[in-house]
C-alpha cells in the first residue's frame, strides 16, 4: 500500500463530491446488508438493473461513444445513455473524452489513468484527488456536436440522481420494498458497477497476457473480462480500439460483443467495425515469434562453422588414435564423453574412430533421430579440409526454423 501511495502524483486537493459518492454509496449498501431484509424480487430487479448500468457503460459510453465502433439507432442510444448515466460515473461527454485521452496518451503523464502511477491511483485515486496532471488533448468534436451527449452532459446531475438512486428505489416500492431498493438496487449495484468498471483502468493494465503487443501496459485476462462484461481483453482493445469486439477469439468471454451483435440482428445497430483478421494475425504472430526468440536465445547452439578449426585428414587420423573422433557430414566430432551413453553401444564408436561415418549415421547402419543429430552437432571440434557437407545436413534439424531479427533503418526494434 505504501509503495502504491508513493507512486501518486503530488496531491493538490480532494474531490469531495466524488468522495461522498464513492464512500456513502458503499456505506448504504453495507447498512442494507446488516439491517434490511432481502426481498427476492428486489434482488432480481437489482441484478437486471446492474446489467442495464454495465451495458450502458460498455456498449454505450465505451464502444459506441468513445470509439464509434458501431452505429446505434436513437432508441438504442437512449437506452444505452440512460444505462450509462444510471452507473453514476460522470456524463458520457466527460467519460468518453477521458477515455479517448487514455487511448491517445496511454502510460504517459497525459493519460488520466497512467498505469505507472500504480493500481490504487488508476483504480480510484485519480477520481478522488486533484493533482497537477491534466488529460492530454484529443479530438472530441463529434461528441460536442451530438445533441443527446450534450443534453445529458448539461443535465447530468438530476439525471444521475434519478436513474442512479431514485428510480432503483422507486421500482421496488411497487412491492413495498423502497429501502431494499435503495440499499441493494441503488447502493449495492452502484458499488459493484463502480469497482468493476474501475478495474479496467487498474487490473486490465496490470494482470494478464500481451498477445498482440507488449510495448504498453494493457493486458488480456479472463478475470477482468468477467468483471466487466467482456472488456478485459484489453491488450486486444488497445491495439484495435475501433473494433466492436474486445474478445476476438470465439471462446473468449465478451457479452458486450454479443449484445451489440444481437442489436445488429434486431436492426437496432449497424456498421459494426472489425479490424482485418490478417492484421490481427500479424500482431499475434509477432508476439509469438518474440517469445520463441527468447526461448531460442536461452538455448546453447552448436559452435558456428567459421569458428571451428580446419583440420587435415592426417591430423584427424593422428588425433583419432588418442580419442574417439568421428567424421559426419564434413564435421569432426569428439564423441569421447558420449561413449557410455550411446544407445547403439560404446564399441561401435571406438571401433570407428577416425572414419567417415556420414552414410552410417544417416541410415547406412541406423537412421538417427533429429535429437541425435542435434546432440551430435554439439560435439563438433573441427571441419575437415575439403570435407564435403551435403546441403541438407549442414544445418541441424533444430536450426532449420530459426527466428532472426531484421534491422530497421530508422526505428528501434521493440524489445
Beta bridge partners of 333: 326, 380
Cα 96-102-104 angle, rounded to 5 deg? 100
- 28 in Cβ contact with 143 (< 8 Å): no
Residue whose CB is less far from Zn ion, 177 or 231: 231
Residue whose CB is less far from Zn ion, 218 or 230: 218
What's the closest the beta carbon of residue 107 comes to Zn ion, in angstroms?
9
Residue whose CB is less far from Zn ion, 188 or 200: 200
Residue whose CB is less far from Zn ion, 187 or 196: 196
Residues 312-351: x/- map of binding to Zn ion (CB under 5 A)?
----------------------------------------
The candidate with the shortest Cα–Cα distance to 33, out of 249, 194, 187, is 187
What's the closest the beta carbon of residue 103 comes to Zn ion, in angstroms?
6
Residue whose CB is less far from Zn ion, 180 or 255: 255
Residue at shortest CB range from Zn ion: 218
Q: Please give the size of the binding site for Zn ion, defined by CB under 5 A.
A: 1
What's the closest the beta carbon of residue 83 comes to Zn ion, in angstroms?
17
What's the closest the beta carbon of residue 97 comes to Zn ion, in angstroms?
12
What's the closest the beta carbon of residue 218 comes to Zn ion, in angstroms?
5
What's the closest the beta carbon of residue 58 comes to Zn ion, in angstroms?
10
The candidate with the shortest Cα–Cα distance to 195, out of 2, 35, 9, 21, is 21
**Which residues 86-125 are close enough to bind Zn ion by CB under 5 A?**
none
What's the closest the beta carbon of residue 246 comes to Zn ion, in angstroms?
8
Residue whose CB is less far from Zn ion, 54 or 325: 54
Residues 210-239: x/- map of binding to Zn ion (CB under 5 A)?
--------x---------------------
Task: Name the burial class of residue 406, with classes exposed (0-12), middle (13-18) and buried (19+) by CB atoms within 10 angstroms of its CB.
Answer: exposed
Whole-number Cα distances in Å, 256 to 57, 80, 82, 251, 282: 10, 12, 16, 14, 25
What's the closest the beta carbon of residue 108 comes to Zn ion, in angstroms?
13
Residue whose CB is less far from Zn ion, 50 or 95: 95
Residue whose CB is less far from Zn ion, 122 or 152: 122
The candidate with the shortest Cα–Cα distance to 93, out of 50, 41, 137, 147, is 147
Residue whose CB is less far from Zn ion, 211 or 218: 218
What's the closest the beta carbon of residue 216 comes to Zn ion, in angstroms?
9
Cell of 193: 458497477
CA 182 – CA 63 distance, rounded (Å): 29
Helices within 298-390 (DSSP H only): 313-319, 346-351, 358-361, 370-377
Residue whose CB is less far from Zn ion, 84 or 168: 84
- 249 in Cβ contact with 260 (< 8 Å): no
What's the closest the beta carbon of residue 185 comes to Zn ion, in angstroms?
28
What's the closest the beta carbon of residue 240 comes to Zn ion, in angstroms?
10
Residue whose CB is less far from Zn ion, 218 or 382: 218
Q: What is the contact surface with Zn ion in residues (CB under 5 A)?
A: 218
Amino acid at each position: 500500500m505504501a509503495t502504491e501511495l508513493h507512486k501518486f502524483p503530488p496531491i493538490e486537493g480532494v474531490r469531495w463530491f466524488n468522495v461522498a459518492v464513492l464512500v456513502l454509496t458503499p456505506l448504504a449498501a453495507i447498512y442494507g446488508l446488516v439491517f434490511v431484509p432481502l426481498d427476492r424480487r428486489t434482488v432480481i430487479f437489482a441484478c437486471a438493473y446492474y446489467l442495464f448500468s454495465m451495458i450502458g457503460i460498455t456498449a454505450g459510453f465505451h464502444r459506441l461513444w468513445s470509439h464509434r465502433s458501431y452505429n446505434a439507432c436513437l432508441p438504442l442510444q437512449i437506452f444505452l445513455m440512460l444505462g450509462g448515466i444510471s452507473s453514476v460515473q460522470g456524463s458520457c461527454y466527460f467519460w468518453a473524452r477521458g477515455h479517448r485521452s487514455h487511448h491517445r496518451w496511454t502510460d504517459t503523464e497525459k493519460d488520466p489513468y497512467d498505469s505507472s502511477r500504480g493500481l490504487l491511483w488508476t483504480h480510484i485515486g485519480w477520481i478522488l484527488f486533484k493533482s497537477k496532471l491534466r488529460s492530454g488533448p484529443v479530438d472530441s468534436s463529434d461528441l460536442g456536436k451530438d445533441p443527446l451527449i450534450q443534453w445529458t452532459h448539461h443535465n447530468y446531475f438530476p439525471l444521475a440522481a434519478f436513474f442512479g438512486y431514485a428510480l432503483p428505489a422507486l421500482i421496488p416500492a411497487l412491492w413495498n420494498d423502497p429501502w431494499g431498493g435503495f440499499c441493494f438496487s441503488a447502493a449495492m449495484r452502484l458499488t459493484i458497477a463502480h469497482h468493476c468498471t474501475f478495474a479496467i483502468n487498474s487490473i486490465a493494465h496490470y494482470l494478464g497476457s500481451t498477445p498482440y503487443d507488449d510495448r504498453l501496459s494493457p493486458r488480456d485476462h479472463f478475470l477482468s473480462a468477467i468483471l466487466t462484461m467482456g472488456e478485459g481483453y484489453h491488450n486486444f482493445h488497445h491495439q484495435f480500439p475501433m473494433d466492436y469486439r474486445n474478445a476476438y477469439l470465439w471462446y473468449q468471454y465478451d457479452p458486450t460483443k454479443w449484445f451489440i451483435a444481437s442489436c445488429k440482428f434486431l436492426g437496432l445497430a449497424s456498421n459494426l467495425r472489425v479490424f482485418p483478421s490478417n492484421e490481427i494475425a500479424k500482431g499475434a504472430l509477432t508476439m509469438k515469434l518474440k517469445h520463441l526468440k527468447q526461448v531460442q536465445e536461452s538455448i546453447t547452439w552448436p559452435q558456428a562453422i567459421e569458428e571451428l578449426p580446419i583440420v587435415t585428414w592426417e591430423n584427424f587420423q593422428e588425433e583419432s588414435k588418442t580419442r574417439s573422433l568421428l567424421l559426419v557430414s564434413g564435421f569432426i566430432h569428439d564423441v569421447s564423453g558420449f561413449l557410455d551413453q550411446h544407445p547403439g553401444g560404446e564399441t561401435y564408436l571406438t571401433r570407428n574412430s577416425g572414419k567417415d561415418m556420414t552414410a552410417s549415421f544417416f541410415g547406412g547402419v541406423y537412421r538417427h533421430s533429429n535429437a541425435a543429430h542435434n546432440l551430435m552437432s554439439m560435439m563438433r571440434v573441427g571441419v575437415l579440409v575439403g570435407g564435403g557437407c551435403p546441403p541438407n545436413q549442414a544445418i541441424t534439424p533444430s536450426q532449420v526454423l530459426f527466428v532472426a531479427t531484421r534491422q530497421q533503418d530508422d526505428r528501434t526494434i521493440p524489445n
